[in-house]
Structure 1
Amino acid sequence: MFTGNRGALPLVNGRMGHSRWKHQHWIICALAHPKGRYHGPQPARGWTPLFFLDEAVGMAAGHRPCAYCRPEAYRAFKAAWASAAGQTVNHKEMDKSLHLSRVDRARNQIRHEAIMGTLPNDSFVLHENTPHLIKDDHLLPFQTTGYEPQVRRPSGKATVLTPQPLIEVLRAGYSPILHDTA
């Protein structure tokens, strides 16, 4: 449903090389450019698109809505961020905070632990070694083609995939666009 932008990433035989980003502005973009431009799937001198099943998947990867191609989503996200943080911040401050919470110095995803019952809808956790989307009292197992049938949300601790600042944005009322299978 969405594409993501981390800058122009070098691809080797169609796979990402060592570089995983070129800037801290990891954004969730619309599939179609607002002005109808198309640069192809792997342009030699342009950004490298990543693809997300839905917005919750993009957020679990540490991305935020794009202000250019998704201005309404960006404004709603920024308002939820301000509510969660108790102050208004610009995109550079949000991106810096997100970057510190999504990858460590070795470029590994930062995960954190939380009590399952305290996590908001539309966040992602690992359950039985598979990413799951939280929906009310259930979890939806993630597959690249869509979500599998729901399972009951367990109690206890969970490994959380969605970065902590985005957990707070979800708690503050931001509602990401979900795939039809959710």
Structure 2
Amino acid sequence: MPLQNRVQPTGDILAHPARGLFMGNRGILHDNNKSLGSARWRHKAWVCCVTEFKNRKRTLMAPNHYTELFFHDEAVALAAGHRPCGECRRADYHAFLNAAGHSGSVKDFDVSLHAARAIPRVFKQNRHEADLKDLPDGTFIQSCAGPALLWQDALYPFQPNGYLAATPRPTGTVTVLTPKPTLQALWNGYRPRVSKDLGGS
């Protein structure tokens, strides 16, 4: 049975067998039975990591160790509120923070990103409204069919096992899943790594 560790663009964490391109960390969310409680974070430094780094090996959801979370690709991780890790993705980490217009302590950035992505105490995703013409490639929105990725002038509906066929990019006001600080990074040229199932990078 799959563990409940697959993060969706909506912030939901599912038990799903599909593998992801990236891993993430929000602290210890599981118990000794490898089950998640109600909490969806334990700290504000939500990172997005590569799945292989310096031959390190981990037992998933080991007692007293952080809960390993997984994302279909980086666009999903960014929508869920994560940023590149400063250790295993050093170049992406600097590129992301520079594109987001941040200098100084990364802790300060994590605080502002957390305020933009999360609703305290209820562990829900903080969303906002925007006009589609103001949204860059790599943004996730909530469409009538569920979460969907804006990419290269098309809209790709997303399901836990990947992207569906592209539809024409719509117009008008939509509900945005990707947090505002991350949108700034996308507008300023940060290009997330997307899954090849939509022909991305």
Normalised to the residue count of structure 2, the TM-score between the two structures is 0.84
The whole-number CA distance in structure 1 between the counterparts of 2:177 and 2:62 is 30
Superposed displacement of residue 128, structure 1: 0.7
**Aligned amino acid, residue 40 of structure 2:** R
Q: How does 1:80-91 map to 2 (within 5 A)?
A: 80-82=99-101, 88-91=103-106
For residue 133 of structure 1, what is the aligned residue in structure 2? 149
The unaligned stretches of length 5 or more in structure 2 are 1-20
Shift, 1:109, TM fit: 0.7
Q: Give the counterpart letter for 2:30 in structure 1.
A: P
Return the match for 1:77 from 51, 72, 96.
Answer: 96
Q: Which residue of 1 aligns with 2:81?
A: 62
Partner of 1:151: 167
1:181 aligns with 2:181: no
* Contact map agreement 1:140 1:151 (CA 8 A) in 2: yes
Cα distance between partner residues in 1 of 2:37 and 2:145: 25
Amino acid at match of 1:20: R
SS of equivalent residue, structure 1 residue 16:
coil
SS at match of 2:142: strand
Show structure 1 runs of 4+ deviating over 4 A: none
Q: Check the 8 A contact 2:145/2:157 in 1, yes or no.
A: no
Q: Cα offset for 1:19?
A: 1.5
* Structure 1: unaligned runs, 5 residues or longer: none
Structure 1 residues 1-182: aligned runs within 5 Å = 1-11=21-31, 14-32=34-52, 34-82=53-101, 88-105=103-120, 106-182=122-198
Q: CA deviation at 1:14?
A: 4.1
* Partners of 2:34 and 2:148 in 1: CA distance: 27
RMSD after superposition: 1.4
Report the alpha carbon displacement of residue 137 of structure 1 after superposing the two structures with TM: 2.2
Encode CA deviations 1:120-158: one digit per residue, 9 max, x unaligned: 000100111410000132100112222111001111110
User: What CA distance in whole angstroms lies between the structure 2 residues aligned with 1:42 and 1:134?
Assistant: 33
1:7 counterpart letter in structure 2 = G
When normalised by structure 1's length, the TM-score is: 0.92
2:14 corresponding residue in structure 1: none
Question: Which letter maps to 2:50?
Answer: A
Secondary structure, counterpart of 2:133 in structure 1 = helix
SS at match of 2:48: strand
